[in-house]
Structure 1
């Protein structure tokens, strides 16, 4: 491959991709980091396709037109299953792609899809029940205690990753906000509370750099304090009350 040949723009590459692979689709969108002006040198193109000739939703990866491409293919009914799944997991990636996506092709179906996605994103995830909060509080406490007591650096790194994920989930879901995974954990926290997100990043950065657990422990305790503090003794789940 000649490196001097300039690859096409994201929009041009996406249009070529749709015309080559899904010429008869009802709609197509270019989504992801390139449309949010957050692309890096390793970013791919996220392309959402609506094609009623396919039976079920699927995902496929390509390298075409100088770009790595992730295609998310649906028909005009199968996407609803993905919407429901993302809603239940409180990670609305499909809804975000549709709402933010730049139109590549449309046969008068995208306006309603974008409206549907917008309504879901604005209403937020399901509110956690008190029972769910209690269960999550227990597991967050249990992981925090593991983190505090651990003396093996390699294990501590792994525990810290689990703790960060549980903590971000607890903060966001108890405030009825969407959660994320990987880089979207920080993005979701920043959207909710930039100050807390900064404290979160600083606490775990300090641990990873200096092996100092104090800030992580204090931050986790401050979050738990709003719901009664650490919780371990007396926790029960799945017990038959008739016994």
Structure 2
């Protein structure tokens, strides 16, 4: 499996193979000699060299895992933090697999499962080409694309003819953005309005903390959808909010982290106004 490109933090690196045929990333200033391994860097920085080693390890583990567990996979894509070059000590490997029914060993036409490989968790999303479109369509309906983003933005480790067509389709869907109707946005505005009242009146400290988090999430989702942006869960909601408007993400995040209830409520009411303001009386759900 040779990736078609390397993650953002490793740009400027190229992929070559070692004697054991596992993909290895080497700095573009490194001369790859015949035989096993490569020569020392020429002027490379220590941090860059460490990044190369980490990336090479990611590729090897992904290659070994797929070869052992899903050898019939036609296409393999690496997603998540491993693909973006932002791994942490607890990061897992996120792998999207496209292949025939045989790839799934009689377990249907799709599989979402967690494995452990060499001490690291591996999240597998495996589909036939047809079932991929079905499951991606469900994500679109919920405005939370996961496997669409993996395919369109991930690192391709194993290419297949069907992958190119699916990638084009995924990219087009993502570029079009979500299309919630007016009623769906009103329902979210209604729920946020109720949460803001609850937060304003809350006395119990635990309730305040829970309600502040709920307001942040509800407001972030409403803002993203109202401006044609996809939703995310957990950290991905924060990242997508930041990608849409860094200043708004900063203001809301600082208020939430500092526990400044008044500031968060103030930001929320201000941001609600262009969307029609608070909505309660007259709302039909």
TM-score, normalising length: structure 2: 0.76
User: Which residue does 2:61 correspond to in 1?
Assistant: 13
Which one of 157, 174, 180 corresponds to residue 121 of structure 1? Answer: 174
1:36 aligned partner? 84
Q: Distance in 2 between matches of 1:21 and 1:109?
A: 21
1:166 aligns with 2:192: no
After superposition, what is the alpha-carbon deviation per residue over 1:47-67, rounded to whole angstroms, capped at 9, x for unaligned? 111121233212111111342
Instruction: Give how far 1:234 is off.
Output: 2.6
Question: 2:262 aligns to what?
Answer: 214
The whole-number CA distance in structure 2 between the counterparts of 1:120 and 1:227 is 25
Q: Give yes or no for the alignment of 1:81 onto 2:134.
A: yes
Q: What is the CA-CA distance between 1:100 and the residue it aligns to?
A: 2.0
Q: Structure 1 CA distance, aligned partners of 2:99 and 2:273?
A: 49
Match of 1:177 in 2: 229
Displacement after TM superposition at 1:111 (Å): 1.1
Task: Choose which of 146, 152, 156 in structure 1 pairs with 2:208.
Answer: 156
- For residues 85 and 23 of structure 1, the distance between their equivalents in structure 2, rounded to whole angstroms, comes to 27
Q: Distance in 2 between matches of 1:59 and 1:47?
A: 10
Q: Paired residue for 2:193, among 141, 144, 147?
A: 141
**Whole-angstrom CA distance in 1 between matches of 2:187 and 2:113:** 37
Unaligned runs of 5+ in 2: 1-52
Instruction: Give the structure 2 partner of residue 205 of structure 1.
Output: 257
Distance 2:85 2:155 in 1: 12
Cα offset for 1:199?
A: 0.8
Greater Cα offset, 13-22 or 94-103: 94-103
Structure 2 CA distance for aligned equivalents of residues 121 and 228 of structure 1 = 27
For structure 1, the residue ranges without an aligned partner over 5 or more in a row are 1-5, 238-243
Q: What secondary structure sits across from 1:98 in the alignment?
A: helix
SS of residue in 1 equivalent to 2:166: helix
SS of 1:34 mapped into structure 2: helix
Matches within 5 A, 1:178-197: 178-197=230-249
Q: C-alpha separation between the residues in 2 aligned to 1:131 and 1:97?
A: 30
Contact between 1:13 and 1:67, CA under 8 Å: does it hold in 2? Answer: no
Structure-1-length-normalised TM-score: 0.88
- Number of equivalenced pairs: 227
Query: 1:63 corresponds to which residue?
Result: 116
Structure 1 runs of 4+ with >4 Å offset: none
Map of 1:23 onto structure 2: 71
Distance 1:37 1:25 in 2: 24
More divergent stretch after superposition (107-116 vs 188-197)? 107-116
